[in-house]
Amino acid sequence: MSTTITLKNGVKMPFIGLGTWQVKDKEEGINAVKCAIEAGYKAIDTAVVYQNEEAVGEGIKASGIDRSELFVTTKVYNDKQGYEETHQSFKESLERLQLDYVDLYLIHWPITDKYHDTWRAMEEIYTSGKAKAIGISNFHPQHIEDLMTTANIVPMVNQIELHPNQNQQALVAYCHERDIAVTAYSPLGHGNLLDHPVIKEIGETHHKSVAQVILRWDIQNGITAVPKSVNKDRIAANIDVFDFELSEEEMAQLNALHTGERVNKNPDIFIIEK
C-alpha cells in the first residue's frame, strides 16, 4: 500500500498529514510538528487563520529534515482573498513558514465574489513554482463549476470536512470524477467519533484504535486526511495505519454511518455569513 497519492499534475501527496487547526500555543505547535516528523509524517497542514505558520516553520527547521522530503500545505483566508491580496498573503505565509515554496496552496473558503481573482493569483503562484500544487477547500460543486468559468487550471485538491458522520459521498464522487483529490479535515469528527461503538468493534478485530480505523477508511476510499493532534503518542498512532486492511464489509459498515452531522460550518451558509 502506497503512503501517497498522485495529484493530477504528477505531484505526490502523502495520505496522512498532521492537522494543526486550533493549535494556538507556539511551543505546542513546534513540538507537534517535531513529533510528527520523527514519527514519519511527511505532510503538515496549516493556514493563515490558524495563526501557527510560524510554529510550523520552526518545527520543520528544528526537526532537521530535508525540505524536499516534506509536503507543506497552507491556505489563503477569506479576508485576504482577491488578486493583490492573495499574492501578498502568500508572500507573508512563506516568510512565517521560513520556506521558499509550499507544496500545496488552497483557497480556504469559497467567498463567491472573490475567489475568481484569488484563483488568478494562485495560478500565477503555481506557474512561478512557488506552490507545487494549488487547490480549494470547502468548495461544493456549484462553487467549482462557477470557478471553472474563469479558471485556466483545474484545482488539484479540495479539502473538506469529512468523517464517518459526514462522509461527503456525493462531493467526493464529484471531485474524483474530475481527478480532484480530496483531503479530509476533522477526519476524527473533531474527536467526537472516538467512542463510536461500531468503529470500536471494527478496531478490536484489527487491534487498532477508532482513530486508526477511521483514517484507514479514508485511505481505502482514496482520500487523504489531516488528523490534528498535539500528543506524541496519538500523533504516532495516527500514521500507523498502513499495516492492516479493512474488509469490503467493514468499509460498507463505515460508509453507512453517515448522519449528516458537521463539526464546522456548512460552506453554503458560510458564504452568506462571511
43 binds ligand A2P per the rule CB under 6 A: no
Residues annotated as part of the active site: 50
Q: Which of 133, 188, 241, 246 binds ligand A2P (CB under 6 A)?
A: 188
- Which residue, 52 or 86, is less far from ligand A2P as judged by CB? 52
230 binds ligand A2P per the rule CB under 6 A: yes
- Which residue, 189 or 267, is less far from ligand A2P as judged by CB? 189
Q: Which of 74, 78, 118, 238 binds ligand A2P (CB under 6 A)?
A: 238
- Which residue, 99 or 230, is less far from ligand A2P as judged by CB? 230
> CB 83 → ligand A2P: shortest distance, Å?
32
> Segment contacting ligand A2P (CB under 6 A): 90-98, 148-156, 171-179, 230-238?
230-238
Of 81, 67, 180, nearest to 122 by C-alpha is 81
216 binds ligand A2P per the rule CB under 6 A: no
> CB 62 → ligand A2P: shortest distance, Å?
19
265 binds ligand A2P per the rule CB under 6 A: no
Contacts 24+ apart (CB under 8 A), 38-41: 38/63, 39/232, 39/235, 39/236, 39/239, 40/239, 41/14, 41/16, 41/17, 41/235, 41/239
> CB 164 → ligand A2P: shortest distance, Å?
11
> CB 82 → ligand A2P: shortest distance, Å?
29
231 binds ligand A2P per the rule CB under 6 A: yes
Q: What is the contact mask toward ligand A2P in residues 2 to 31, using x (rule: CB under 6 A)?
A: -----------------x------------
Q: Give how far the C-alpha of residue 247 lies from the chain's centroid of Cα atoms, to the nearest Å.
A: 25
222 binds ligand A2P per the rule CB under 6 A: no
211 binds ligand A2P per the rule CB under 6 A: yes
186 binds ligand A2P per the rule CB under 6 A: yes
Chain residues that interact with ligand A2P, rule: CB under 6 A: 19, 186-191, 194, 209, 211, 227-231, 234, 237-238
